[in-house]
Structure 1
């Protein structure tokens, strides 16, 4: 009963955080400026949601009496990592607008984990090497998810400015150059963790082959090359704007195929 209450409160806090972010964006679009008190309220709600979500993840996936890490547990943990990174970055960078989408998503994953924990096959990640590989993969996917949403916002902002129709919400976003810089900052860190995940994958190759997840490796390697080309193009040729957005979304699409495809196989093809 206590765990159910914690899960419910975490879900409510995530959605409340998303609503507070939307309110701040509307205020900025109208030319206003959020007060210090509203900022404190936002990050208090957001931080509370993260802490309660962490308790849920521990109770379900890591505690001795928990059901283990199922498919929805993996999705929930990924959403938690996204919420944590976005929270930390938002303390010093105007990137919190992405939370309008990502915080409610995290709330949905909490609700799904609470409702469906134990209903899907458990993933065995007890081996230290496999655990490290899994964690690095989840961090990489989380960071590049943030980058993909940042790229979508950048594309919308870029189109509006080029069409000379900068609506209120567009005016509330940071300058285009800052949005572009933040995008590549996030991609850079995501690429580092994706590289580390692929390197650690070499040491758990037997587990990968046993689980018939060769397709995951292939798609992840393709995504790695896409992001490598994008970063090279950025630093060598100064890629930005539409080209950067297209390459970011292409790399993320390959990563989604790798990530979601492996989850589907865990759920549908492995014995419970």
Structure 2
């Protein structure tokens, strides 16, 4: 198996991916010595290069997609949310973590560009994919905020200074807003997937992806119910969110990873 097919089939895209990954890596390494303006500039540059990498992949013929491109798009969406939020909440700081995430996501998609899709079984299928990836991005943003919330709570309990001097209640509120938005999009994704399955196969297809996605949807539904009805917060809420995100990750990304890397099947 060729571990770097992009180098052979599309050298410009491979070079662009390398530059994007390098930009993220520079930010992760040098951000403590950068001014806030320099940090924002480097992160915005890496974000733009990442966008160009994703766009170049969509313009390829045939289009390729798989577990690594899905993670790359998810990472880019999380970074997009962070760039917008950092304007509204300048005290929100997760640059090192997101820079490392961006570096790994771009390099992983370069090594594993996915399988080619020469033809789509339905012209509406991209809508299902778009909804799914958007739900991944919003739930990924919720996980990042929950992680920041955990760090802030731990620092507050120990009396240590925190790198994210953002009010804990604000982080908590933002976390559940992203959970609610991700739950809504995941609901739409499952409904669209069920409709496509009924239209194309005349039945609902219960594969690994569907089972894990439904389990994630149920877990997030329980989390939101617990939040609004029972006032869940803190470790209970965060662990439930991590479980829901892990189940969702096992859905498409996990299934495609097994097919592409373990079983070496398209």
**TM-score with structure 2 setting the length:** 0.80
Is 1:71–1:123's contact at 8 Å kept on the other side of the alignment? no
**Contact 1:89 1:95 survives alignment (8 Å):** no
Match of 2:15 in 1: 5
Query: In structure 2, the residue corresponding to 1:131 is in which secondary structure?
Result: helix
1:84 equivalent to 2:94? Answer: no
Shift of 1:95: 7.2
2:50 alignment partner, SS class: helix
Match of 1:129 in 2: 124
Alignment of 1:14-163 (within 5 A): 14-19=24-29, 38-60=35-57, 62-65=58-61, 68-94=64-90, 96-117=92-113, 120-123=114-117, 126=120, 127-162=122-157
Q: Distance in 1 between matches of 2:252 and 2:66?
A: 14
Deviations 1:1-44 (A, max 9, x none): 543432222112222333465568xxxxxxxxxxxxx3332222
Q: Which moved more, 1:177-186 or 1:126-135?
A: 126-135
Structure 1: 4+ residue segments shifted above 4 A:
19-24, 64-67, 206-210, 268-271
Partner of 1:232: 225
* Preserved CA contact (<8 Å) 1:70 1:123: no
Query: Structure 1 CA distance, aligned partners of 2:62 and 2:43?
Result: 25
What runs of 5+ residues in structure 1 fail to find an aligned partner? 25-37
Q: Kindly state the Cα deviation for residue 137 of structure 1 after the two structures are TM-superposed.
A: 1.0
Deviation per CA, 1:45-78: give whole Å up to 9, x if none: 2222122112212222x21446622443222222
| CA displacement at 1:183 relative to structure 2 | 1.1
* Unmatched runs of 5 consecutive residues or more in structure 2: 1-10
Once the 2 structures are TM-superposed, how far is the Cα of residue 85 of structure 1 from its aligned partner?
A: 2.1
Give runs of aligned pairs for residues 158-177 of structure 1, distance below 5 A: 158-162=153-157, 165-168=158-161, 170=162, 172-177=164-169
How far off is 1:146 after superposition?
2.2
- Is contact 2:65–2:117 with CA below 8 Å preserved after alignment? yes
The 3 A distance-change label for structure 1 pair 108 and 71 is same
Q: Supply the distance in 2 between the matched residues of 1:140 and 1:124 (Cα, whole angstroms).
A: 25
What RMSD, in angstroms, separates the aligned Cα atoms of the two structures? 3.0
Q: Given the superposition, is the C-alpha separation of residues 232 and 68 from structure 1 closer, same or farther in structure 2, using an over 3 Å criterion?
A: same
Q: How far did 1:222 drift? A: 1.6
What is the alpha-carbon distance in structure 1 between the residues aligned to residue 104 and residue 235 of structure 2? 31
Shift of 1:195: 1.4
Q: Does the CA-based 8 Å contact 1:80-1:106 persist in structure 2? A: yes
TM-score, length basis structure 1: 0.79
Give the number of aligned pairs.
Answer: 253
Secondary structure of 1:91 counterpart:
helix
Alignment-derived partner of residue 8 in structure 2 = none
